[in-house]
Amino acid sequence: MAGCFDFSTNSKSKETPIGLNLLWDYAYDLDGGAPSVKPLLHGSMIITSGDINVTSLKFETGEMIWKTPFEHHMQLMNRSFGFQNNVIAGSVVKKIMTWNVTDGQELFSFSFPDSLSFNDFKGISTTETSLIAVSNGRNLYKLDHEGNLNIIPLNARSYETTVHNNVLFAGQRMGDEGIVSAYNVHTMELLWSFNPGSFGFFSREAPIVENNIVYVGTTDGPTGSRNGFFALNAQTGEEIWRREGIFTYSAVLAGDRIFGVNGQRVWALDKHTGELLWITQGRGGHSESNLDYLDGYVYWAHGGGLHVFNAESGELLHVMPAPDGSFFWRVTAGAGRIFAQSNRHLYAFAPWGHTQPLD
């Protein structure tokens, strides 16, 4: 989201906050354990996989549009849906599956042989003609829409990836150091590689690209490695700024700020300078769940409760346990609503301070 935001929040239909007002909920077919994939907003739909189905619901009412079961598997394992040209993609153990977003019809799939590793926990990037997935080693995979696999050997192990303007940006590991690389998405020619030197791996959150700048952070790494968040020139890989000491399990860009999670705290950086604007402790223990932003507030799907922060000050305003007594795992903010995914339900809430969705 580009431009300057007013983080003082939208005053329209503002009411005294007493909690998060439930608009509707959808019960999964069974307890899905810990849902992995972030719900996807598309058109009038919110698409979720918290059980043994991929399910499309009307985001306004929670009414089912379609539901597609996949046999012999639990819920999807990847962190985010791949989506391009009405094709959505997800992964289960050793397998990529795709569906038509309009009706849920399965399109094509690919099962990896034992000779090939597949990191089914990572997101799937998309181009006009292919899906891009990662292995547990240095191979990158491109799967075309006919189900044909192209194996691309690289000189580094890739984790989360992003495709933007025909360039694939990859958070990677080379030896014991984290690097970021950019490739021509068609030829897979290496365009540039950035190594900050003795930092952890860019392994948990896909690079965020806006206005020719790549924003990316580190998390994991060997003992003694440093962690940080970086802004890079998308064309050259040149470093614009860095903020050391920041862990990144999840991050979102909103206006002039980057909001992120380090496991126990939520932080905000100035996207122009990397200045740390605030960092606030959450309630409960460690959580690697994602966060999202809407209308002046940051929402974190901490397992112990959905956290609501003031985006301007970082003040923790509210913690809401999952109504079904389980845990929250993923959150998607959009369409004037907050969609929070627990072990057993997908919940739609009105934004903080409102009883109804925003226009």
DSSP character for 112?
A: P
Domain membership flag for residue 315: yes
Domain membership flag for residue 52: yes
Domain membership flag for residue 117: no
**How far is it, in rounded angstroms, from Cα 266 to Cα 237?**
27
So what's the pLDDT on residue 2? 37
Would you say residue 193 has pLDDT above 70? yes
260: Cβ contacts below 8 Å, ≥ 6 apart: 205, 217, 229, 246, 248, 249, 250, 251, 252, 266, 267, 268, 269, 291
Would you say residue 18 has pLDDT above 80? no
**Total domain count for the chain?**
1
> Does the predicted TM-score (pTM) go above 0.75?
yes
So what's the pLDDT on residue 134? 96
Whether the Cβ atoms of residue 202 and residue 216 lie closer than 8 Å to each other: yes
Does residue 292 sit in helix, strand or coil?
A: strand
Q: Choose the weakest-confidence range: 11-15, 143-147, 333-337.
A: 11-15
| Mean pLDDT value of segment 170-197 | 96
pLDDT averaged over the chain?
92
At 255-301, the pLDDT tens digits run: 999 999 998 999 999 999 999 999 999 998 888 899 999 999 999 99
Residue 75 pLDDT level (bands cut at 50, 70, 90): confident
Would you say residue 96 has pLDDT above 70? yes
Domain membership flag for residue 138: no
| Mean pLDDT value of segment 158-187 | 96
**How far is it, in rounded angstroms, from Cα 128 to Cα 338?**
30
358: Cβ contacts below 8 Å, ≥ 6 apart: 10, 12, 13, 294, 295, 336, 337, 351
Does residue 99 sit in helix, strand or coil?
A: strand
So what's the pLDDT on residue 6? 56
Domain membership flag for residue 303: yes
Domain membership flag for residue 35: yes
Domain membership flag for residue 338: yes
Would you say residue 13 has pLDDT above 80? no
Which residue range forms the structural domain that includes residue 328? Answer: 1-68+279-359
So what's the pLDDT on residue 1? 38
Own/partner long-range contacts of 333-337 (Cβ < 8 Å, ≥24 apart): 333/292, 333/293, 333/294, 333/299, 334/41, 334/292, 334/294, 335/41, 335/46, 335/59, 336/294, 337/23, 337/59
So what's the pLDDT on residue 161? 97
So what's the pLDDT on residue 11? 41
DSSP β-ladder status, 130-134 and 139-144:
antiparallel
Residue 31 pLDDT level (bands cut at 50, 70, 90): low
**How far is it, in rounded angstroms, from Cα 76 to Cα 204?**
17
Would you say residue 3 has pLDDT above 70? no
Would you say residue 116 has pLDDT above 90? yes
At 137-156, the pLDDT tens digits run: 999 999 999 999 999 999 99
DSSP β-ladder status, 149-153 and 139-144:
antiparallel
Amino acid at 353: G
Return the percentage of the chain with pLDDT > 90, whole number.
81
Domain membership flag for residue 81: no
So what's the pLDDT on residue 35? 83
